[in-house]
Each structure stands twice: as C-alpha cells, then as structure tokens.
Chains A and B, each alone.
Chain A
C-alpha cells in the first residue's frame, strides 16, 4: 500500500512542473486575480475530474474556460443551462437525413474536451442528470447507441450562490461527481484596477488571438500529464491522513451524512497532481491539506440545526483539518 507501480522520476516531475506552471502562467495573463481557481481547475483536469465553480456572475468563469482550452489546445463548448433545456440539447440527437435516408447522429455540445456548463442549477433535474451521467461514465447513450466522449474530458459547471428563485439545486449524490468545488470570489481592488487598464489598452475577452495565448500542450499532452501524476508516490502515512480526514467528516457533530470513499479517492488524486506540479515525486500532507476544502465542501450533508446556526461546510472542513493529526506532527 502506498507505493505506485513505477514511481515518477525527478526529471519527469520537473517536466510536469514546468508544463503545469507554463499553462497556469498563460491563463494568468488573461484571468487576473484568480490564481487559486486557475490552479484548482488545472489540478482537476489533470486528475481527471470535473469542477463546480460557485460565484457571482462577471468574474471571468467563461473566459477561464476558453483560455484554458486555448492553452491546452482543446475543443471548448459552452452550454447555457436554462429551465427549458432538454437532455438532447446537451447530448445531441439523431436527425433524419433525406440524402442518407436514415437517422444521423448530431453530437451535442457535450462532445468536447472542455465543456462549460453555465448556471447548471437552472436546468431541470432530467437535463442535469444527462450531463452528470456523461461526466461519470464519459460516454452518452442516445437512441440505444453508446458513444464515447473525447479524452481528456472535463466539465466546468458554474452556479450562482445568490439567486435561488427558479433553480434546481444539484442533489448531494450528484454533487459528489465533481472533483472540486471552487469558490470564485471578487478580485482585490488593485487587480480590478489593473483589469480596467488592460481594457483601456484594447484587451477584448472575445478575441483570445489578440491576447496571444500560447498553446503549451494539447490533448495527448494532458493525458500524458494524467499518467505521470498517477505515478506520484503516496506514503502510507499520507494515505492514513486522507482517510482520517474523510472519516472525521462522518463523525463531525454538525454533519448528517459524511463524505464518501469517493472523497478519499479524490483527495488522493489531487494530492498526486499537486505534488507533481511542485516538482516532487512524492506527496506530502500539505498537498492534501491545501485542497481539502475544495474536495470536501460539497460532499457531506449538514444537519439542519447546524445550518440554522450558520455553520458552513467550510467550517466543518476547518474543524477537521484542525483536529486530525498529520503524520509525524507534534503530539499537541
């Protein structure tokens, strides 16, 4: 336990870190003041997961997706979720072709390597389920035919935390499908001022060509990064730390239903990517701790009375991180 089949070499780790840093830098040139979100999205993509971005409108979530797709040379599709959106609008549908004298499948927007599902909680549950099924199985079934989705495949779903009128909150079981839930906050005022300066200088977010975003790698390159990350060594102590963290959410008094083993797996995958992005061939507890909130905050159910008292999921994660001993820590 704890030892991967073929451990990453120092050279591979250095190469990984260089590529990761280059992609983050390219995105950071356009998306200002959101460094944590950028690196979170990159980590999720390389870990093979999907991201739920929660934040008010106008913070550059779409721009982030488009820039990421450009830097990684991936196909990018955006789906605006609305109450009348149908599952076939996401997955695609078969249309009768008179020339072929038969039904021809027209792939939906989900057939892209990077999909932005904007305001995912505005579509009814049936449409959400179609997307979430595609996310977990990486394939869609239409008219009895199963069609694989491209690889890599990553969904960036967004939702607005403020408005609740006319929304269909994602059930907890489906939230669990997202590797990370990242909170997108307003940038600092100086970053916002810098942003205005760029617009005055002629920056146009719809014209990424003008921004000269460099294509750092491509789809196969991302798949290679995924393979490298899986070879990062994770010590038994770190594994125990991960399971202890997740287990602690199940025992927390404010939690009705704790995080599932899928959360443990997610923490493990993320820790491996974080370690490799730091040029290391092994994961340390800090790698787990750094992303624990993003991995765990949407994976457990708070008790109603705790919610009434204003206890949030992040409070629970903070408690857990404060209570669970790290391997080799002070006795406390």
Chain B
C-alpha cells in the first residue's frame, strides 16, 4: 500500500503538462476569441506550427478545422538583435521536449530534433497512469475497509434507505445554472424587453450564483433565500444588497405582486452592488471562466510552465515566509502590495533575493516615473519585445542596465543588481508592460527568450520562485480542477467513502470501546426502553430490538455467563440465548406480548446486573 502511494505521489508530483485542454486558446480556434485576438499580431514572431488555434481565431476559421500543437513554452527560436549576445540560449532542444510540444490526437510529431517518443509526449500517459493508479489504490483501500468492517462486525446502524426522492420541484423554478454576470445581463435584457418579473428573478439568481461562486454561501436545494441572507449577515453591505434583492422577489413569487419597472430597477441595482461587493476577480471568473482562467490569453499559466521548464521551482506561500524563496515574480498591474508588503519585498531584495517586477514600480528601487508610450503597432525592435500595439508604458529615470529601450521615449525593460545601492545584494528586473508575463505574450519566441533571459539573470535552475499574484491573492479563482495534482487523491477518498457508505452505511471510525460507564448507560437505556414498551405493550419488534442491542453489546458468551450467575441452569441459559438470538434474527415474527415482555425483562435484568 505504501509503495503504491509512493508511486502515485511520484507520478502526481510531475508538473502538469501544458496540454491542449489547458491552453485551449492556443490550440482551438475560437476559444476566448475576444481576448485572443488581442495577440494576433504576435504570431508574426511565432513558428508556423505554434498555436494553430490562435492562428485560426485570428484568421476567423472554423474551430473544428484546427489541430492540436505545441504549448507556448516549447521554447524554440531565440532572441535577436541587441539582446542576442548577452542572453542565454533557449533551452536545450532535448530538454524542451520534456514538455509536450507537438502532440496531436494520434501521438507526437517529430520536429526540431525531438525524437518521436520524446519524454514530454509521455505527459498524457503519466496523467492516465496517475488516474489508474489512484483508482486502483482506492479500490484496495475500499476492500481492506470492507474486510475490516466484516471482521469487526460493527454494522449497528439501521439500514437507511434514501428519503424523499419523489419530491423534486419543477425545474423552471430552480436557479438557472449560468455565470452570475450572464444572469445579470439577462436580467437587464428582460427589463429592457418590458418583463420586470423575469428581471428580478434573474437578478436574484445572479446574486445567489455570485455568492455561491465566491464561497460565501453554499447553494443547496433545501436552503431558503432568507437563510442565504442570514448566512452573510456579518457582511453588512452584502447582506443589505441580498436582502434588497430577495424581498421583492419573494413578494412576487409568493405574494403574487408583480414588480413594476421601478422595483425591478432597484433590485437590479442591488444585485449589481452585490456582485461588485463579492469581488471583481470572482466576477471575471464566473463571467467567462475560460477567458479569465489562468490558461486563457491573459492568464499566467505559461509563465509558471516556463519557470518549471527552465528548472525553477514555483512555490506557494506568502511574504511572511521567504526563507526558501530565491526569486519573487510580481505583476503590479494585477496586485498592488501594501507599504508593509513592499517593505518585506525590499528587505528580501536587499538580502540577496531576486525580483522580477512588471508594471508601475515608480517610487521603488530608484524608479521615478512610469508613463505612457507611443511606440506603434507590434513594436519589436532588434532588442526583441513583441506586444500588440507596442509596449504601452515605459520608465523614465530608470536605474541600472537598460535592456530594451523605446526609441528615446522611455525604457521598457531594466535590469540592475548589486551595483545599484537601492537593491543591496539582490537584483531586480523591471518590465514596464505587464503583458509580457501573460500567456498571449509567450506565443512569441522572442518574448519567451527575453523572459528566460531575465530569469537567468535573477536565478539559476533549481531556485525557488514565488509568483505573488497567486500567493497573496487568497481569493484567486481556482485552477481548472482537471489539472489539480491532488485530484486523484480526492478521487481515492471519495471512492473509499462512497464504497464504505454504500456497503455498510457506517461512519469510518473505530468501534467504540464499552467501558463501565457506558455499560451503566446501556443498562439504564435498556431499562428505560423496557419500561416504556411495557407501558405501551410489548411487541415482537420491541423485544427483537432489545435482544439485538444486548447481544451486540454483551455478546453471546457474556450473556450465557450472566444468566448462569443469576441462577439459571446451563439448559435455561442456553434456552434464553437461543430465544434472544431467534428474536433478534426475526423481528417480524408474530407478537406474543407476554413472551415478548418476559424476554425483554430477562435481558434487561441480565444487562443491568452483569
């Protein structure tokens, strides 16, 4: 078992491949089209076989016509011009193949010197193997538990059949299963179309969906609107907004009072406030999960993959624990640290850490200004930086070594190290335009090489990198669950629990030891039951229940011994045991009140005195 777990852990710990399911915008035409089209011009700097999906999107082709190809981190090509001399070469081709690069549905292409069965192409096999192994382990654990349950005989709970399956309300009354912003948009459209009733219903659904997606409430089929309101009562603005939404809705749905336009507008305004309160990040996510996911054109998954492919180790954590961190990556356009957090970052750099920072860093490390640039479309001088419409911002008065200048109007990328007094013993690489860190930018091999070069200045393979947008954003949306490394383990647990619950209906705990106090409780319990049933007339079922209880708790041997201690002969004790066993096994036998009562009282006396 331990070996199996170890093997599973080794397999599951592999970096998840940047497969077609993750970077869908890159592999499938039409995915995240609106955002993907922002990066069309970058394709000029990408090899022909890279991102066919994005090419199709930009060309307006049918999504079905595109195949699957490399992820952005395939790291081919290299920088050019001014940078070429000082930048490290792109990763070794054989190493590059450790990531899946040219996989189609039927297998792997041979390209750029990669062997047909390059290790990177084994990612799918590893994933499949991890799933199979997880299911196998779950099955083994379930069988072991099942055997243990049978051996210990702890099946004391009554077998409960599922209750109330027949009471499913019509689906048209349920909360629509759609993202909150879509529902709110639908509410607005309904209002414009002159249907305020439908508008308030959709506004309510949007509010509940937003709260559910943010983890503020757990949407459940048996929870009332007022219970949702009570669940968020500690957050006054959210509570008031939700209350303002659900009251008019219930007045209409249960009070029969159709809302007028004014009421509907107020409800929509309250719902919009609520959605804003719950958090813009969440709204982006639920509004268009694919677009805003880490794997969309604006996500940062490619950066993580690049870090891992170049030998760095991405770690989670916070600024409070930087002992093992070598480099921090910080996108200031996504995350603005507080002064206290900046102090920690500066102390980290001062003590020798590296910082890759993108965005408005003015006022820190000697930067004085961060200002708009007017560079032109797809700006890429020989230094190499491909961004749609050129870099949007530049630094003025930047310290350190200028890597990419913007034709005299500013500086786009700056690197400086311990020769600058403001950084102490560390090093900082600053990028004025944070888009360089996005998935879309890494379609360009020039950008990829530039980013690798910056990383190589700040760190070496094996260093640990903390990407702060993830580490500090506790409320960040979760990853695509199908790529979670822990998912197989979760599947195992669920399978085990499901099998155990299905087979025996018991909680997975050790059997309770019966000590003296518990035995006294048992006696009193049996006595109370016997008294009650004596008053309410004894029955076969009642006597059977008492017999089962006493046999389970005392056991046959102890019951025989107790009967003999009370003066019964061997034969009488055996007869009592036989009767108790028969009654316990056959609860549906005919009622013989006197006999039932006599058995109950005999067992009661024995259980009380033994």
Interface residues of A (CB under 8 A from B): 3, 164, 168-169, 233, 235, 237-238, 240, 244, 247-248, 251-254, 280-286, 289, 303-309, 319-332
Contact = CB atoms under 8 A, between A and B. Distances in A.
B164 A235 contact: no
A284 B226 contact: yes
Interface in B176-213: 177, 208, 212
Given A169-B536, A328-B174, A330-B175, A253 B220 contact: no
Interface in B224-259: 224-227, 250-251, 253-256
B499 to A, nearest CB: 20
5 contacts: A253-B161, A308-B549, A323-B163, A330-B175, A331-B177
A244 B548 CA distance: 34
A281 B255 CA distance: 7
Contacts of B157: 309
A317 to B, nearest CB: 12
Contact of B254 (A237, A244, A331): A237
Given A233-B256, A328-B174, 14 more contacts: A235-B254, A251-B164, A252-B163, A253-B163, A289-B224, A303-B541, A304-B542, A325-B221, A328-B173, A329-B169, A329-B220, A330-B219, A330-B220, A331-B175
Contacts of A280: 255
A218 to B, nearest CB: 30
B222 A238 contact: no
A282 B251 CA distance: 8
Interface of B: 156-161, 163-164, 166-169, 171, 173-175, 177, 208, 212, 219-227, 250-251, 253-256, 525, 528-529, 531-533, 535-536, 541-542, 544-545, 548-549, 587
B221 A330 contact: yes
Closest 6 CB pairs of A and B: A332-B221, A282-B255, A248-B164, A330-B219, A304-B545, A244-B167
Given A327-B169, A329-B174, A322 B222 contact: yes
Contacts of B163: 248, 251-253, 319-320, 323
A252 B165 CA distance: 10
Given A282-B256, A303-B158, A329 B223 contact: yes
A286 to B, nearest CB: 4
Nearest to B172: A328
B504 to A, nearest CB: 14
Contacts of B177: 331
- Most central of B177, B222, B529, B587 by chain A CB within 10 Å: B222
Contacts of B542: 304
Contact of B222 (A253, A305, A325): A325
- Most central of A240, A309, A325 by chain B CB within 10 Å: A325
Contacts of A283: 254
Contact of B529 (A237, A253, A285, A308): A308
Nearest to A172: B536
Contacts of B255: 233, 235, 280-282
A307 B157 CA distance: 11
A309 B158 CA distance: 8
A253 B254 contact: no
A253 B160 CA distance: 5
Contacts of A284: 224-226, 250, 254
A282 B548 CA distance: 50
Contact of B167 (A247, A308, A328): A247
Contacts of A330: 174-175, 208, 212, 219-221, 223
B174 A286 contact: no
A286 B225 contact: yes
A298 to B, nearest CB: 15
B254 A238 contact: yes
Contact of B545 (A308, A322, A325, A327): A308
A329 B549 CA distance: 41
- Most central of A321, A327, A328 by chain B CB within 10 Å: A328
Contacts of A327: 169, 173, 253-254
A253 B161 CA distance: 6
A121 to B, nearest CB: 11
A306 B541 CA distance: 12
A332 B220 contact: yes
Contacts of B219: 330, 332
Contacts of B212: 330
A305 B545 contact: yes
A286 B224 contact: yes
B221 A326 contact: yes
Contacts of A322: 222
Contacts of B173: 237, 327-329
Contacts of A286: 224-227
A309 B157 CA distance: 7
Contacts of A237: 169, 173, 253-254
Contact of A325 (B168, B225, B256): B168
Given A233-B256, A285-B224, A329 B158 contact: no
A321 B212 CA distance: 20
Contacts of B223: 326, 329-330
A304 B587 CA distance: 11
A177 B251 CA distance: 33
Given A235-B253, A247-B167, A283-B254, A331 B160 contact: no
A147 B219 CA distance: 54
B531 to A, nearest CB: 6
